[in-house]
Amino acid sequence: CHLIHYLRLSHHLIVLNYVIHTFDKLKFVSSEDINITDAVFDGVEVRVFEPPMKEDERLKRSVVYIHGGGWALASARTSLYNNLCRVMAESLNAVVVSVEYRLVPEVRFPEQFHDTLRATKHFLQPDVLAEYSVDPGRIAISGDSAGGNLAAAVCQQLSKDEHLTIKPKLQALIYPVLQAFDFNTPSYQQNMNMPVLPRYVMINYWIDYINANYDLAHSLLINNHTALDVGQALSFRGRLNWTSLLPSSFKKNYKPVIQNTGKAEIIQEIPALLDVRAGPLLAENETLRLQPKTYILTCENDVLRDDGVMYAKRLQNAGVEVTLDHFNDCFHGCMIFTVWPTDFSAGIQTRNSYIKWLDESL
């Protein structure tokens, strides 16, 4: 893929997505158990999973789901996410709306955020909820990885929208990516070469998402963009101080990487690095206080572990009820791997725990 990109035949992410979809020839077929339809919500494609109405049942609960893939890969229509949303709809007897937001390189930040926000706000309209027989008081917003990033950012935006009469009851974030401020948290250091999502891959996803240059990768890796002499970063430093936000079992013997002098021009050229819509962990306490009851799933073998743990701690400090569901023996992305030949026990274990929380809380 990178060779094709180097030869300027195509963007490597376009090629990678083509490979993914070539090996994933799922045809969506409704069954008597779940009705699957594709729709468009305010210009954004979605896939809707609807269980049949039970006798004497008037309204169902619902989950808006946002898939992962580094803002660049996968789809609501791939078999792994199609299967996850189908299982959620069946297990919860809930209407699941899976958002098909546009991907890098077709669009960059903040367009993925705008797509998911528009689709979610459209669904939250009373007449649309009535069309799908959804209870306005029992709606969750959820997502994994980059989808968890978008879910958290959208939930923050919805919480501040004074004109919105219906808002999510819950948010459920699965190993979310929540900040590009510090690429040397203990989990980034511990898992820097961990398969599935090594640190350099996550940094490249960020570079693609915010439309930056790959030449910046090393500066980002050593936190040059948030050095002590970068004035724009000063107000955010306390919000991502992992030495106070992480438990000792996660901090271990790792040391913070804080440069005295760095490259202020990086933030000047790429303000998205400090945009709360891109990094929800950067949000101020006033916004965090408005967030709904929250579930955050983290995995030990994941560079993003500490993003989720820090967000859980900041939400708790702001007075939000939070369940932090940590798995010591699991890895990034594991929850979607529940179908043969990638039916891993880690996937079944995390998916069951996630659905159990939704079932008890929604």
Confidence (pLDDT) at 75: 92
Give the DSSP letter of residue 272: G
In a domain, 291, yes or no: yes
What's the chain's Rg over C-alpha atoms? 20
What confidence tens digit (pLDDT) does each residue in 109-128 have?
999 999 999 999 999 999 99
Calculate the alpha carbon distances from 237 to 15, 93, 263 in Å. Answer: 38, 43, 16
Q: What pLDDT score does 55 carry?
A: 81
Q: How many domains does the chain have?
A: 1
Q: How confident is the model at residue 340 (pLDDT cuts 50, 70, 90)?
A: low
The three-class DSSP label of residue 282 is helix
Residue tagged active-site, from 62, 145, 159, 187: 145
| Nearest Cα to Cα of residue 189 among 214, 223, 160 | 223
List, for residues 303-338, the tens digit of each pLDDT value. Answer: 999 999 999 999 999 999 999 999 999 999 999 888
Other CB atoms within 10 Å distance of the CB of residue 197: 21
| 267 inside domain | no
The answer to whether 208 is a known catalytic residue is no
pLDDT of residue 8: 44
Strands 94-100, 134-144: parallel, antiparallel or unpaired by DSSP? unpaired
| β-strand partners of 222 | none
- Helix H segments across the chain? 2-6, 12-22, 79-92, 111-123, 126-131, 146-159, 186-190, 199-209, 217-221, 231-237, 242-245, 248-251, 264-269, 285-288, 305-317, 345-361
Q: What's the token pair of residue 97?
A: 């709306």
> What global pTM score does this model have?
0.93
- Is 155 buried (19+), middle (13-18) or exposed (0-12) by CB count in 10 A? buried
In a domain, 24, yes or no: no
At residue 10 the predicted structure's pLDDT band, cuts being 50, 70 and 90, is very low
Q: Is the pLDDT assigned to residue 31 strictly greater than 60? A: no
CB 332 within 8 A of CB 302: yes
Burial label for 145, CB within 10 Å (0-12, 13-18, 19+), is: buried
Q: Is pLDDT above 90 for 352?
A: yes
Say whether pLDDT at 287 is over 50: yes
What value does the mean pLDDT take over residues 206-222? 96
Per the annotation, the verdict on 229 as an active-site residue is no
CATH number of the domain enclosing 146: 3.40.50.1820
Strand partners, 134: 60
Which residue is catalytic, options 115, 208, 302, 325? Answer: 302
Q: Are 15 and 4 in contact (CB under 8 A)?
A: yes
Taking Cα atoms as reference points, which of 175, 94, 100 lies closest to residue 139?
A: 94
Per residue in 59-108, pLDDT (tens digit) is 999 999 999 999 998 899 988 899 999 999 999 999 999 999 999 999 99
> Would you place residue 225 in the very low, low, confident or very high pLDDT band (cuts 50, 70, 90)?
very high
Weakest-pLDDT range from 21-25, 86-90, 183-187, 191-195: 21-25
Asked if the structure places residue 106 within a domain, the reply is yes
Is 302 among the catalytic positions? yes
Instruction: Please report which confidence band the pLDDT of residue 24 belongs to, taking 50, 70 and 90 as the band edges.
Output: low
Range of the domain at 120: 31-180+272-361
Mean pLDDT over the full length of the chain:
91
Confidence band (pLDDT; 50, 70, 90) for 344? confident
Identify whether 201 is part of a domain.
no
Q: Report the C-alpha gap between 57 and 76 in whole angstroms.
A: 28
pLDDT at 15 over 60: no
Q: Is the pLDDT of residue 3 over 60?
A: no
Examine the pLDDT at 345 and tell me if it is beyond 60: yes
- In sequence order, which residues have a C-beta less than 8 Å from that of residue 21 and are 6 or more positions away? 75, 78
Whether 236 is in a domain gets the answer no
Residue 232 has pLDDT above 70, yes or no: yes
Supply 26's token pair.
């799922």
- Is pLDDT at 154 greater than 50 in this prediction? yes
Q: How confident is the model at residue 53 (pLDDT cuts 50, 70, 90)?
A: confident
Query: Is there a domain that residue 90 lies in?
Result: yes
Q: Catalytic pick from 12, 67, 114, 332?
A: 332
Residue 150 · residue 143 · CB < 8 Å: yes
Token duo for residue 234: 């000063």
Count Cβ atoms below 10 Å from residue 132 Cβ, excluding itself: 15
% the chain with pLDDT above 90: 83
Is 161 a domain residue? yes
Residue 6, pLDDT score: 47
